[in-house]
A and B are shown apart, each in its own frame.
Chain A
Amino acid sequence: MGKFLPHSQVYLGLTQAGIAATLAITVVLMARKRGIHLERDAFVAMVRGLVQIVAVGSILLLLLRGPRWTSVFLLIAMIAAAGFTSRRRAKDIPEAFRISIFAIACGAGSVIALMTLLGVIDTSITSIVPVGSMLIAGAMNTNGLALNRLRADVLAHVGEIETALALGAETSVSVAPYLQASFEASLIPAIDSLRSLGIVWIPGLMTGMLLSGARPVYAAVYQFVVLAMIFASSGLTSLVSTLLVRGRIFTVGEQLILQPGR
């Protein structure tokens, strides 16, 4: 830690936030010199982000001291928020919010429940909430990517899909290549995270465990466990959401609903 920085954690945090914000403002000014105006958006985003994270951190501090069962409500609230966020990536897809919530609940929810039952995730609120939030966040990102890619691919291939329908194909056959592509693309970040673990990045959870005195080998293995769980919950989420979307983008008369300009 730099010898010029204050030792009180509150002042230390504020000073570090000030330094990081100065760096961000420098980038905004560099962009401004090139005629790109990010000033307002960047300022609002930084202030909002700081206020949000401090507020949520304070609330979490209170909740983490509560009884174990409160973790269930926390995780449900996180799944709802994740569904709301990733549904915005699925413009024009009917019932995107319900699909997102259901898919994330199936993907992240089932992995959290199973792993907790098997004892891989500790039932203490200080363990299940942070690990659960990582699984839910991973599922949210994957769901958003899958829906966004599927929507773009279907809109770009309406001709091919309708040609397949016109030749007597089932709706599932007509969109199969685009479902597969969106599923694969949505899992790229989760696969890359696993592949580059320890080489390109050392995730925060492992750093936190090391700082709190865990043995390095256990911290490393548990980090792998978390990433493997993120991969499983993300894959399950993407599978469920793309299959649910497939059922929503056709009418009962097997006509494609998702069309450019409709």
Chain B
Amino acid sequence: MDTSIAADLAILRCERLGRTVSGKVLVDQATFSVRQNEVVAIVGPSGAGKTSLLRLLNRLDEPTAGTAYLRGTDYRQIPPRELRRQLSMVMQRPYLFSGTVEQNLQFGPKQRGETLSSDAVEELLSQVGLRGYAARNVANLSGGEAQRVSFARTLANSPIVLLLDEPTSALDEASKLEVEALIRRIVHERGLTCIMVTHDTAQALRLASRALVLQSGRIVRDGFANEVLHG
């Protein structure tokens, strides 16, 4: 891949981004660019630093080296709350807040003093295949439904880049395939850029056009998913 062209078209660009804690290198000088509408999978063995890299991108952790640029702006210059709205993260577990599905969807907009209309809530829920669930209590949802509400809640923030941290790892096989189909459809329909962490190379091949392979915190391969993951 021609990195100079990729950098020109990049919506997100990381330059020597790294994090070291108590002498342990979690992410080691990650340099890569992600273009608009691209779906990038970050793969690698357990402890390779995949989630650490995603947390750095969401700035849930502070980089100890390098930085990232969102649409050309150093992401440390963007207020954390605004950055996290634009670079929204879906966690490995859904962590829904107690209350109804609608209250969860309203959470992000409420932080900015906005309210979603009932139609907007229903539209989001229909996008994740949960039309009519608005008034349901989240305590009564299945694992797959909870993860889909988590997606809808993140989408309610109208992100530019979607960060997914092993979004199907806590789900059974049937729910996993449903959520994969959902990711594919939403990313396509909304023209989203997506960076997804997964330990499942088959899933990375099904969803991503490009893959980064991490080992001991360092990117060791970067290229088209079918070349990198089959190679």
Residues of A within 8 A of B (CB): 159-160, 162-170, 173, 251, 253-256, 262
Decide if B154 touches A167 in the complex (CB within 8 Å): yes
CB-defined contacts of A162 to chain B, threshold 8 Å? 60, 91
Contact present for A163 and B91 (CB under 8 Å):
yes
B147 CB–A CB distance under 8 Å: no
Query: Smallest distance from the beta carbon of A9 to chain B beta carbons, Å?
Result: 59
B47 to chain A, nearest CB (A): 14
Q: Are B91 and A166 in contact (CB under 8 A)?
A: yes
User: B111 touching A169 by the CB < 8 A rule?
Assistant: yes
Considering the complex, give the chain B residue whose CB is closest to the CB of A259: B61
CB distance from B76 to the nearest CB of A (A): 8
Contact indicator A167/B60 (Cβ below 8 Å): no
Given contacts A168-B111, A168-B157, A169-B111, 8 further A-B contacts (CB under 8 A): A160-B95, A160-B97, A163-B91, A167-B107, A167-B154, A255-B59, A255-B60, A255-B61
User: Which of A167, A170, A256 gathers the greatest number of chain B CB atoms within 10 Å?
Assistant: A167
**Closest Cβ–Cβ distance, residue A170 to chain B (whole Å):** 7
A-B contact pairs, 24 of them (CB 8 A): A163-B91, A163-B95, A164-B107, A165-B80, A166-B58, A166-B60, A166-B84, A166-B88, A167-B84, A167-B85, A167-B88, A167-B111, A167-B154, A168-B82, A168-B108, A168-B111, A169-B81, A169-B111, A170-B81, A253-B59, A253-B62, A253-B76, A254-B81, A256-B60
CB-CB nearest 10 A-B residue pairs: A163-B95, A254-B80, A168-B85, A167-B108, A166-B89, A168-B81, A159-B95, A168-B111, A160-B95, A169-B111
In contact, A169 and B97 (Cβ under 8 angstroms): no
In this assembly, does B16 line the interface, its C-beta being within 8 Å of a C-beta of chain A? no
Cα of A262 to Cα of B62 in the assembled complex, Å: 14
Judge whether A255 and B84 touch: CB under 8 Å: no
Interface of B is mostly: mixed
| CB-contact partner of B80 in A159, A164, A173, A253, under 8 A | A253
CA distance A116 to B218 in the complex (A): 65
Nearest CB in chain A to that of B59: its residue = A253
Size bracket, chain B contacts:
20 to 34
How far does the alpha carbon of A262 sit from the alpha carbon of B55 in the complex, in Å?
A: 16
Q: Whole-angstrom distance from the CB of A256 to the nearest CB of chain B?
A: 8
| Contact status of A251 and B60, CB under 8 A, knowing A167-B107, A168-B84, A169-B107 | no
How far, in angstroms, from A256 to B55 measured CA to CA in the complex?
12
Q: Give Cα distance in the complex from A262 to B61, angstroms.
A: 12
Min CB gap A167→B, angstroms: 4
How far, in Å, is B62 (CB) from chain A's closest CB? Answer: 5
Residues of the A chain whose Cβ atoms lie less than 8 Å from the Cβ of B60: 162, 165-166, 255-256
Q: Is B13 an interface position by the 8 A CB rule?
A: no
Nearest Cβ on chain A to B59's Cβ, whole angstroms: 6
Q: How far is the CA of A136 from the CA of B89 in the complex (A)?
A: 45
State the Cβ distance, A158 to closest chain B Cβ, in Å.
Answer: 10
Alpha-carbon distance between A62 and B60 when the two chains are bound, in angstroms: 56
Q: Is the CB of A173 within 8 A of B111?
A: yes
Cβ–Cβ contact A167 & B153, under 8 A: yes
Smallest CB gap from A160: residue in B: B95
Residue of B nearest to A262 (CB): B21
In this complex, the member of B60, B62, B97 whose beta carbon has the largest number of chain A beta carbons within 10 angstroms is B60
A122 to chain B, nearest CB (A): 49
Chain A residues within an 8 Å CB radius of B35: none
List of B residues within 8 angstroms of A159 by Cβ: 91, 93, 95
CB of B34, distance to nearest CB on chain A (Å): 18
CB-defined contacts of A168 to chain B, threshold 8 Å: 81-82, 84-85, 108, 111-112, 157
